[in-house]
Amino acid sequence: MGETLERWSTRRAFILAVTGAAVGLGNIWRFPYMTGENGGAAFLVLYVAFVITLGLPVMMAEILIGRAGRRSPMQSLAHLAREAGATPHWRWLGLFGGITVFFILSFYSVVAGWSIEYLIDSANGNFAGLSPQEVGANFDAFLADPLRMTFNHTLFLLLTMSVVAAGVSGGLEKLNNLLMPLLYLLLLILAIYATTTDGFGAAMAWLFKPDPSAITGTVVLNAMGHAFFTLALGACALMAYGAYMPEEQSLPRAVVAVAILDVTVALLAGIAIFSVVFSQGMDPGEGPGLMFVTLPIAFAQLPGGSLWLSIFFLLLLLATWTSSINLTEPMVATLQDAGLKRGHATAVIGALVWAAGMLSVLSFSTMAEVHWIGEMNFFDLVTTVPTDIFLPVGGALIAIFAAWVMSQETAQQALGVDAKGFRLWQSLVRYVSIPLVVIVLISDLF
């Protein structure tokens, strides 16, 4: 297949599409609980450091491959490899990305389902007047109910797959336009409100005063994995979006804008959530339920709390939706390359992801004690290994391809910078980003 002529309509549209992929559960659900489990500020500092040293350069690498190839990830990789006289087997990197996002989407959809449940509950005013203990008990009761979780997981996947099958992400692009500023505003209101709570001081110290003794190998690995996850990086999903990037746009500038937007959303969510944690004397290391027990408590204190809470979950769901559409893209593209029609490819993927997601649903009830690796049940496994191992491995290979394998002239053109700018990016990727991933991964093995 030849090059695609399709382009995002404007520069802003490209930035919005990538921000839509980046901002999602990773910022508002995963970042706070990971920070809580990994020692607070120490994790935050490492995560931001990884975003700068790895995230930015590798994100440029991933998008520039798509932009230079103007094809699906597998075909772009094969085409650019051939052009440079390297083996077209590089295409399998696209398949690896597809496998990675498969596991990620399987739990992502389950957690998105929790948000559907909370949207409905809060719209019905079910949280009004509940004590913090009751909010926590509510969440536990929900997790123990596989039927309700299955319903929501199924509903969310259907919503995602129908958009992907119809190829109408253009409509979502416009939605994004409105959604992002609103989500921002709501998080900002929450964070400002947080400054008036008793726990605010403790929350700021927890988030911004690093305790170096909290840094362990696992914390470093988790922070690296999260940097990839939150930027939607390392699985060729952004490569797919890069294929439609307009010719004249500056890639480095777009990437920096996305990273700043992405990190600020996480910080605002962290301030809001940890203020509740410390005001209520809760445990920051509570785990994946953290957001679902803290936010209802926070909103309950605000006038019109139920309404705000339902608006918040609606916005979160829409942000999650744009991310899950991005997560689906590498899989659909792979199956389309194998000859399937878009609609069929989407149906096959939807069914497989649904089945894998069911293992996560049941990880909170009947299969809670079924351990796959070590002490990990299925949900524990898919929320860690694909993110902490597969994404960095994929990201390193993508970086190696962009900075060592493909024609460096083509790479410079696709990056859209002058020779000096290109050398800076190339040296960063070659001598900082790639070795850093390798060192962190290897040191974790031992």
Site residues for ligand TRP per CB under 6 A: 21-22, 24-27, 101, 104, 229-230, 232, 235, 237, 323, 326-327, 391
What are the CA-CA distances from residue 132 to residues 186, 282, 295 (Å)?
A: 22, 10, 10
380/388 with CB nearer ligand TRP? 388
Task: State the minimum distance, in angstroms, from the CB of residue 234 to ligand TRP.
Answer: 6
Pair 394, 234: CB distance under 8 Å = yes
Candidates 299, 310, 314, 365; CA nearest to 135 is 299
Helix, coil or strand: residue 442: helix
204/223 with CB nearer ligand TRP? 223
Task: State the minimum distance, in angstroms, from the CB of residue 96 to ligand TRP.
Answer: 12
Instruction: Report the distance separating Cα 364 and Cα 145, nearest Å.
Output: 8
187/237 with CB nearer ligand TRP? 237
300/437 with CB nearer ligand TRP? 437
Residue 55 one-letter amino acid: G
Residue 377 one-letter amino acid: N
DSSP 132: H
Task: State the minimum distance, in angstroms, from the CB of residue 247 to ligand TRP.
Answer: 24
By beta-carbon distance, which residue lies closest to ligand TRP? 26
Pair 194, 24: CB distance under 8 Å = no
22/345 with CB nearer ligand TRP? 22
Instruction: Report the distance separating Cα 254 and Cα 247, nearest Å.
Output: 13
What are the CA-CA distances from residue 229 to residues 31, 223, 387 (Å)?
A: 10, 10, 6
Pair 31, 22: CB distance under 8 Å = no
Task: State the minimum distance, in angstroms, from the CB of residue 40 to ligand TRP.
Answer: 20
282/382 with CB nearer ligand TRP? 382
Residue 149 one-letter amino acid: M
241/364 with CB nearer ligand TRP? 241
Residue 97's Cβ-count burial label (10 Å; 0-12, 13-18, 19+) is buried
Task: State the minimum distance, in angstroms, from the CB of residue 32 to ligand TRP.
Answer: 12
Task: State the minimum distance, in angstroms, from the CB of residue 401 to ligand TRP.
Answer: 17
CA angle centred on 29, ends 25 and 35, rounded to 5°: 125
Residue 421 one-letter amino acid: G
Task: State the minimum distance, in angstroms, from the CB of residue 21 to ligand TRP.
Answer: 5
